Each structure stands twice: as structure tokens, then as C-alpha cells.
Amino acid sequence: MEFKKLLEPGRIGQMELRNRMVMPGMGTNLAAADGTVSDVIVNYYARRANGGVGLIITEVCCPDPLGRVIPGEIEATTNKFMPGLSRIPHAVHSGGAKVCLQLAHGGCFASEGVTGERPLTPSGVGTMQLPGENPRVMTIEQIKHLIDQYGQAAKRAKDCGFDAVELHGAHGYMPLQFLSAYTNKRQDEYGGSLENRARFALETIRCIKEYTGEDFPLIYRLSAYEDVPDGVTPEEACAFAKMAQEAGADAIHVSAGTWDSRLEKYNKVMAGEESAEGKDLSQGVATSMWVPPNYTPRGSLAYLAAAVKKAVDIPVIAVCSIPPEMGEEILERNQADFISMGRQTIADPDYPNKIKAGRADTIRRCLRCNECLGEVMRNCGISCAVNPEAGKEYEGFTKVEPAETPKKVAVIGAGPAGMEAAQIAVKRGHNVTLFEKNSELGGALYYVSLPDFKLDYKDYTEYMIRETKAVVKDIRTDTEVTADLINGEAFDIAIVATGAETFIPGIPGAEKGGILDPLKVLDGREKTGNRVIVCGAGLVGCEVAMVLAEQGKDVTMVDMLPTAAPELAIYTKWVLDAKLAELGVKVKVNHKITEMTDQHIICDCQGETYTYEGDSVICALGLKPNRTLVDELREKCGKTEIIPVGDVNKPRKIMQATHEGFHAARRI
């Protein structure tokens, strides 16, 4: 596919951009604890500028100390932050991109635990996600002061060399808290009608322009749909976009949602009080409305950008899980002027350069697993499941350098850990042989990419297989590795990535056989009846349950844990829960299985006994490391260094497998 539109130069106000690809603001938690710019965050942005993107919009930067949301958030509250802030434009400009500082005040999301003071809000309305907070109602004087703080922060951004600022009026940040009747209950000139609720944002736009000059570009990030009671509707958003343009905004960056979006609906559905039907919960709940996981269709918010574009004459930026192919089509249909690709920029900073070079098939595709968001929400620095360098750019421990002494390396197992290790080892100059017992590469990725709702994983799996075959010249499939083979070919290193396998615990009745393997069910090797019991509500159990429910089968899922898929980041988990509910999967938690056969299970739940019968029983109660070969090689291959990576150490996620494979090959 050609990407003519994405590669076209563009303009926002007086700012010229080399292409139509934008990196939107995404929290990283990479700033220093005092709000100053760190070496890590400078290198993070520099790496993405070198990758070819046209515009980088930084993560949130608070204009007022009471607006901080996360501990590692950069500030522009006083001049003392300017020396550090000025490092970011130098870094980004060196890579040929333009850079925009995103100004964001958290309002009720700026918790006392982060700022040390009770949050300031338009009306004292908090958020369901921070129920312990006690927000204050802003006075007129405080409103005017904050507007001026935005203006001063924007002036600092301009003086530091930024090419533009973005006023964050989406996702529940302060301008949206004023714009939305959900959070704005004021009875003065800042509340009531749409014009009054828009006043804070419009006065802030004008104030920024007064401080920076009319020729300094200002982008407004807008939630064009909230899906909360009395929240912003697409119609109101389009009307507001016109007002923002008249006030001086140079572009509208169209997103959706706030921290409470669909959360009340979700809670009622999970409590069994209401049906999930018609509530769009699997389209995103709270943060996952604008950072949707792989269970949500790609480009789910693009229609909002198209609506806003019809309402304004300034450029519109579309965002939300838009792959390059879809982005090109959106631009061709004139439904937006620029395309933001956020998590894709984390997964592969070089994707714009690859598009420019006609190598889009070599883009390392984002999984939309939201491990990046999960790390930030845990107050850790950002990481990526498929890019071990993300958030650690130019650190010594992520450098892939030529090996001093090339070695003969066997990589055993072609799952995510094995393929990553093989690629990195080849790049370092080692002589690599990749062994796989199956007829094709992929390992666990093969299974996780099978469901229709795992298209992102399928794309990534195909990418990994292509990249591995392109660089590893000696690939041996249908090969069972033994100690004799390793000794016979005199390998210096054996990286063992044999993964994990499904196991059936010692539950009475299980020994009789007939219980199905979830992985074999996913790939069709084992068939189920119409009534299916899935034992285990981890991620594997949930996904096989969804696949079967989509086929119209009656599915009951049972687990002793108090919730399904506890290992998922919370915003991804909410969407998974919603999809299970929409598909009618019956989830039985706090159920300890005491007996299981191929057609029934018996459980204990808080002292009560329950029996569930079906045509088929699937055991998805976990995986166990496949360590037989590791032990054999360590016993018999004394001249070979044995390095186990991935699930062979402990069954976990793709992120741990990828990172372990990367670092194992980087070290040898």
C-alpha cells in the first residue's frame, strides 16, 4: 500500500510539519520526582523524532503545581523548570520533527496524595476512580489565576523553543471539567449554558495567545463524547470546536472520554443489576475509551474527528488505535488532516521512516495490550511489551552492539522470547541456529493471535516471523533438540525458550481423561459441545470462553479467584469483563473446584457445594514451565552455556518473554 497522504507535508497555523504523522501526548512517568526534565525523558523523545514522525506532542505538563496527576510529571509552573524543558525541543529538532508542549491541569484527578493539597475543581465534583478525595470548588479569583497560569506556562514553552502548545481539554482535564455539565454545576458565568461552560477553555485559549502571540500555534485536545450523565455530546463538541476556532485555536485534536466514562454502567452490569446490552462497554470504559485494548475495534473514535472536521476550518487530528493503513484512508476521505498514532510510536519509533522507505511490512506492530499504560498507572516508568528499549532509550543496558567475539548460538523455541533472542543475536554478529519443534514459527504467539479480536497480535506475530526469517539464515523446524544435538554441533550458547504447557492439576476425576486443552480448542484440534465449562478465568480461560461464546455456545467459566483476569491492567480488564458480559459468558468466581470430569465439575463456594454440567470441560487452570530440556542440557552439555528465557522460567506475559529474549542475546 502507498502512503502518499501520510507522507505529505502539513501545516498547523505557522508550524510546518514534514508529514501528517503525529505522536500524541502519553504519560510516561519518566520525569524526575520534582517535575524537572530527566535525561531519560529527553532521550525518549529524541528517539521518536529520529524515527521520522512529523510532530511530537509531549505528555501532560502541569501549568500549576496543584494540577499534577502522576508523580513523574513534568512542570512548567515557574521559570526554574525552563532549563530542563528547553532540552526537549533541542532533542526533537535534532531528529527533524516539531514539538508541542501539552499543558494539562488534572482538576479532580490531581489527587492530594500527589500534590499535597485538596484538588481544585469547578464544582467540587470528584471522580469515581478517586472516591477518597475531597475536591474544592474554585472561586472566581482561582479561576482567573489558573487561566493566567496557563498563559505563563505557554510563554515559557515558546521561550524554551517549543513549536506549539496543546491545551488538554479532553479525558477529564480541567477545561473539560468546566465544559461538561457532568462535572460543572456552577450557577455563575462559568456554568449553565454551553457558552458559559465553554468560557474557561475559551478564555484560556485567548490568554495563551496574548502571552505567546497570534502566530504561535495552539492545538486544542477535545473529548468529543463523554458517555456520562449530562456529559459532552458530539453535537456540543462540534459547537464548541467552532468557538475554539474563533477564540484562536489553530487545530482540534479529537478524542473522547473522561475518567468516569461508562464506569457507572460497568459497575451495575458487573453487579448483576443491569444487562450489558446496548451500553457499548466493550468500546471502552473510563481510560480505555481513549486507550482501547485489542478487544475494541481499531479507529473507534475516528468518526468523531470526521464530525468535527465538518464543523471547523482549521486542521483536525484524528486519534485512537489508527494503524497506518487506516490513517491513509482517513486522510484520503478528508475526514481529518493529521493522524495521531500513540502506542504505535512506543512499539516502533521508526514506523514513519519505514513508511517513507516503502517498508511498512517491517513495522513492529503495537499489541494494544496496554502494558505501557499499566506501568504508568502503577507509578512506574513506561515500558512496552514488544519494544524492550521503550522508556530506556540510550541506556547502557539496552544498547545492541557488535559482539567482541562471535559465538555459535542455538536458540531453542521460536516463540516471542526465542525469536527476539535470535534476531538480536544475529544483529550482534553471532552465528545463530533457531530450532522449533513445530512446523512453523510463532510458539505461544500462534495461539494468542487466533481469535478474531486478537488482530493486533496476529499482525505482530506475522511481523516477528518475517523479521526472524529475514535475518536468521539457519532455521530448523520440526526439530526436537537433544543434548546430543547441542554437543554434536558444539554450540557455545544455548538460549532455551521452550515455553510452558497446559497442565491439569491433581483434582479428583481429572485423571479419567477427556478434559480439553484450551490451546487445542483455540486452533480447532479439539472440538467442544454446545454447553461448555471453562475451568480457569485467567486470560487464556477468558479468551477461549469469548471465542466459544461468539460461536453461539453456552459457556460457564469458573475460578477460585475473586475476579477474572486479575493479571490485566485495570482499564483493559474492564473491557474484557464487559465483552464477557455482552457475550453472555457466565462467570463464577470464588469457586474452588473439588472434582472435575469431561462433562461436569463440582465446586465449593463459601461452604456451599455447586455442580455444573456441560457437554465439554476445558481446563485453563494455568501453565507449567517446560523445563525438561533445560535440565537435560545443564546435566549433559558442560561446555555450553545454558540461558533459559521466557515462560520456561515462569509463565508470564509477552512483555517478560520479549524482554528476557532481548537481554539474553544482548549480553552474550
User: What does the alpha-carbon distance between residue 410 and residue 474 come to, in Å, rounded to a whole number?
Assistant: 10
User: What does the alpha-carbon distance between residue 398 and residue 69 come to, in Å, rounded to a whole number?
Assistant: 29
In order, the DSSP letters of 26-75 are -----S-TTSPPPHHHHHHHHHHHHTT-SEEEEEEEESSGGG--STT-EE
Q: How far is CA 420 from CA 116, 364, 415, 424, 665, in A?
A: 44, 12, 8, 6, 8
Query: How far is CA 80 from its chain centroid?
Result: 33
Q: Which three cell numbers stand for residue 333?
A: 476521505
Which amino acid belongs to residue 531?
Answer: R
Q: Which three cell numbers stand for residue 589?
A: 468466581
* Grid cell 481446563 in the structure block, residue: 619
Query: Dihedral, CA atoms, 577, 579, 584, 585, nearest 10 degrees?
Result: -50
Q: Which three cell numbers stand for residue 533?
A: 465449562
User: What does the alpha-carbon distance between residue 525 and residue 508 come to, in Å, rounded to a whole number?
Assistant: 26
Q: How far is CA 134 from CA 105, 111, 115, 120, 261, in A?
A: 17, 9, 13, 9, 20
Q: Which three cell numbers stand for residue 642?
A: 545454558
Q: Which three cell numbers stand for residue 610?
A: 455447586
* Grid cell 492439576 in the structure block, residue: 505
Q: Is 173 noted as a catalytic residue in this protein?
A: yes
Which H helix or E strand runs over 136?
A: strand 136-137
- Is residue 226 a contact partner of residue 182, using CB atoms and an 8 Å limit? yes
Name the catalytic one among 44, 45, 173, 190.
173
Q: What does the angle CA 59 – CA 63 – CA 69 come to, to the nearest 5 degrees?
A: 55
Which H helix or E strand runs over 219?
A: strand 218-223
User: What does the alpha-carbon distance between residue 223 and residue 234 come to, in Å, rounded to a whole number?
Assistant: 9
Provide the angle, in degrees to the nearest 10, between the axes of the packed helices 39-50 and 87-94: 20
* Grid cell 510532530 in the structure block, residue: 55
Burial of 303 (0-12, 13-18, 19+ CB in 10 A): middle
- Cα-Cα end-to-end distance for the chain: 39
Q: Which residues are catalytic?
A: 173
